[in-house]
A and B are shown apart, each in its own frame.
Chain A
């Protein structure tokens, strides 16, 4: 177990270096000049060059990357070009809001997805099943901002059940989390449906029924644990997709999290922030996958972590 964790942490470390390198290269290939952006539109050519020198942007690329990595080992993510403060401070001040939104949204998507997916599987080929699957398809394909604004209009503006935006109270998290949850839920519903149908065909389900167990016991003790096994691994992978959704949803709902920070940084080509957020997201994805892999043997005794 300890060996397994060490190996996974080593793998995660390599992944993060890879991520930082790729983001670094992509950002410097952009046809935009961060020095010009920082110096301002009215700055003279000399001023821009001076800013470029200050930020170290005139160094060769590999030196810039080396400096970046060097600082990284001390936990220094660099300084924001625009906001004049440490990226690590900016990220940590924004992180709780995003984690709060993420946790709620993941809860929503699993609750919605697994339930309706299982219901659709048990009632497969019925009208209910078909409606659920069409609904799931609509939510999966809907653009996030469209769904977000629709929910906002219906439940906040029109019905007035929830506040329009902001951060703090429990009621404020519902709409942004629901937006993310419905999108992910549609996806999980489709997976859960096929997973349950697969399990229903298994011999051990027939055995459970032949034992005369109650319907509920067959479903919750024999079918569901087996059906969610393949889905656990998906939750880990899903966190990556989730991060992209969060950028949009936080902007729509004015949620003061990492997504909003990223959104602003992208518009201002604030490279240190983009790099920092990407790295933090990569950490989250790696951690999510690790947690998913650690959770799998709790349910499936056949998996042993070596």
Chain B
């Protein structure tokens, strides 16, 4: 075994080019990419979607999809061998042994039918020639190292019994168990809640200090880059456009793309950058929600009796003014999306929802007629996270935008076409594009189409459920700007549902922080983000990665000042559960916090 000193070059990638077969011939997705990785460091490969960063990782692992992907030139020297010319047999000896990899989706990256223990030990048995019991002991150590609770029990559990954060810990334990020299992490925290992301990033930094494993971190999130990278390679369309130490890259960028990328990153500044909240008493609220409650029964057993109940939303109250944005924030399962859906009457709810002063909701879902629902949906429209999934692939985008007008029987065909053209111009597209199909557009353009469709009925309220979360930061900034323009022009009220604090700060006038179906803190964005009072809000904000390498959280975390711990709370409760309702303390200026 060759021992590396910290700083020695461990992996030397030179002129890597990869092509993918497509119906229109080979497409070059990586073009003469070169970089090196030194022992003990964390190298971030940063870039937006389509930059080729994941393909780079798969090429190094010998895991390019076959047929389809092909390495056309280049070399990647590791321990005196060129990874790119090794056969499948040699590569399988290196993978999981000298070079390990973890992936973005912890929910689907583990085999559902095998116990966690089996999945942890099989690699050890193969690579290190350990016996079953030795491998098990080693697996237990690895689980201990990733600070998972009850490691012994985890070995006999199946993946579906673990939360997303725990599964990602298992993935890391699996990757680290054989003590690899290189760990490639492909967006390992993107699918996780921000508090879990903070825990995982801290864990990776700690493991690196303990083991000296070099990490290649692939990410689109400049906050994550600033948080953990020693050096950075910025990729754009298969080429490295900039490289340097993290401090250098954030201080001054040479390539305009890097500059644009960093400029587009919404920086989180503790509420200082938030728009001013309007006066709540000045006008009549557009949305007035009183004691809104949504519960779902989980049925099962012999007579389909209710076995558990999801307390998704519990007696929440909020108002939204014309031209105002209220952000609902919180972790997965906190009830923020359900609140948005209840506003649209997509889920049955109890309580009162008044839109423009008109009661839209009596006591139950069943009493609403189709005509009443239509009347509600003419006022409230929704945009979703995944624009491609929310557009029917078999309809032209023009038909998609016109569809609400047809459903609501508004206008003649000629007028509808004119309306669609006008909406398209309004959202920054051209009327000529109306006859095309959703797959012909980029992600940002598709979200514009979704916005145009939502605007077709001239609604007063738009529920935006994570509507920029799936977009690259540069596109994100454009969509947010468009939403603000439309708000100023049309007086729209937005209910903006998001987990991303930086985005929330940028667009929302007021914030409501949700946890376990209730609002635990609410008020003007500046007040809540600048002076968070509830422990949950504080924990949430402390976990936000800041795109500034000078202000790393990891150091805070290591000094145990603000250690972020614990799982995301689950809204599943037993049938006889009675929720206890929060009472609020008024801090003035509309800033309420659960006592």
Contacts and interface: CB of A to CB of B under 8 A. Distances in A.
A60 interface: no
Contacts of B101: 210
B437 interface: no
List the 9 shortest-distance A-B pairs measured between CB atoms, nearest first.
A212-B95, A212-B96, A211-B96, A203-B108, A211-B123, A301-B158, A204-B111, A210-B101, A203-B109
A3 B303 CA distance: 11
A212 B128 CA distance: 12
B302 A212 contact: no
B111 A212 contact: no
B61 interface: yes
Interface of A: 3, 7, 202-204, 206-215, 217, 221-222, 225-226, 229, 299-302, 306
B301 A306 contact: yes
A214 B92 contact: yes
B426 interface: no
B283 to A, nearest CB: 50
A225 B171 CA distance: 21
B105 interface: yes
B349 interface: no
B122 A213 contact: yes
B96 A213 contact: yes
A211 B178 CA distance: 10
Contact of A211 (B122, B158, B300): B122
B521 to A, nearest CB: 37
The winner among A211, A300, A306 for most chain B CB atoms within 10 A is: A211
Contacts of A229: 113
Contacts of A204: 108-112
A229 B93 CA distance: 30
Contacts of B109: 203-204, 206-207
Contacts of A226: 111-113
15 contacts: A203-B108, A204-B112, A206-B63, A207-B110, A208-B111, A210-B63, A212-B97, A213-B96, A214-B126, A215-B92, A217-B126, A226-B112, A301-B113, A306-B300, A306-B301
B103 to A, nearest CB: 6
A299 B100 CA distance: 28
Nearest to A217: B122
B174 interface: yes
Interface residues of B, number: 32
Given A207-B171, A302-B160, A306-B301, 12 more contacts: A204-B112, A206-B63, A210-B95, A211-B95, A211-B122, A211-B123, A212-B91, A212-B94, A212-B95, A212-B97, A213-B126, A306-B300
Contacts of A302: 112, 158, 160
Nearest to A201: B65
Contacts of B105: 203
B63 A212 contact: no
A13 B56 CA distance: 60
Contacts of A206: 63, 103, 109
B111 A207 contact: yes
Contacts of B61: 210
Contacts of A203: 103, 105, 108-109
Interface in B410-443: none
Contacts of B375: none
A226 B110 CA distance: 12
Contacts of B158: 301-302
A304 to B, nearest CB: 9
A206 B95 CA distance: 11
B302 A225 contact: no
A221 B88 CA distance: 19
A226 B105 CA distance: 18
A206 B69 CA distance: 15
Contacts of A213: 92, 96, 122-123, 126
A299 B126 CA distance: 24
B162 interface: no
Nearest to B124: A211
B92 A300 contact: no
B63 A209 contact: yes
Contacts of B63: 206, 209-210
Given A212-B97, A217-B122, A301-B113, A3 B92 contact: no
A267 B108 CA distance: 56
Among A213, A222, A225, A226: residue with most chain B CB under 10 A: A213
